[in-house]
Amino acid sequence: MFNGSRKYSPLPSSPSSSRASSSSSLPTAPRRSPRALQRHSSLLSQYSSLLESYTEGEIRQLISALVERYSQAMNSGGHELPLFPRAGSRRKRARARHKPCALKELEVSVSELGLGYESDETVLFRYCSGTCEAALRSYDLSLKSMRSRKKIKKEKVRARPCCRPLAYDDDVSFLDAYNRYYTVNELSAKECGCV
């Protein structure tokens, strides 16, 4: 009935159990491994089967992202990555998400604008940033409802207002690296709002 290659360790015996076992002719039961080890091995088998479904390139991307995150944490003065984010950081992120739509500015070179011009001249770039939760209109609520009911499926539509320029600054003129004169219109925001 039992395979001879298996090894069984006897259960720890007490004086009363040794008397009972000597009187019975039942074989000793195999010793179970602790539940924590079984849970650990099942997690390992789940993770190994999960990792087998990824390609080698995807695993490399995952590892490089984790290494980059770890090095950023080490460079910022952290000694280890927290397993669970602190509640305070969650509140800060929530507050940052609900900043109202406002005009911001940044001084950049013309080359950094990404318009294809090569120039070392700097310009004041004004842009709109923030959320528009308070500006929901009937249109936005109805559009959201239609999307949730799958009436609108494939079109790319936004069911909430977006922080965008309402008006633009004057045209911006500059010389490029080859001494050619250019004028760009509607480059910087002058006024922002929820559209």
- Quick: pLDDT tens for 16-26: 444 444 444 55
Output the CA–CA distances (angstroms, integers) from residue 124 to 33, 64, 73, 111, 191, in the order listed: 69, 36, 33, 13, 15
Share of the chain above pLDDT 90, in %: 27
Pick the more confident residue, 7 or 44.
44
Q: What is the pLDDT of residues 31-75, one digit of tens each?
A: 655 555 555 566 667 767 767 777 777 778 778 888 888 777 766
* Count of domains forming the chain: 1
Grade residue 164 by pLDDT with cuts at 50, 70 and 90: very high
pLDDT of 121 > 80? The answer is yes
pLDDT at 129: 93
Judge whether 15 lies within some domain.
Answer: no
Give a yes or no: residue 127 inside a domain.
yes
Task: Give the chain's mean pLDDT.
Answer: 74
Residue 90 placed within a domain: no
Q: Is residue 190 part of a domain?
A: yes
28 close to 8: Cβ distance less than 8 angstroms: yes
- Burial (0-12, 13-18, 19+ Cβ within 10 Å), 192: buried
Model pLDDT, residue 133: 77
Query: Is 16 inside any structural domain?
Result: no
Q: Is the dihedral of CA 118, 120, 123, 129 positive or negative?
A: positive
Residues in the chain: 195
What CATH number has the domain bearing residue 120?
Answer: 2.10.90.10
Residue 102 pLDDT: 93
189 belongs to a structural domain? yes
User: What mean pLDDT is predicted for residues 80-93?
Assistant: 56
pLDDT of residue 18: 45
Q: Is residue 165 part of a domain?
A: yes
Q: Which of 131, 185, 188 is nearest to 160 (CA)?
A: 131
116 belongs to a structural domain: yes
Domain holding 188, by residue range, is 102-134+161-194
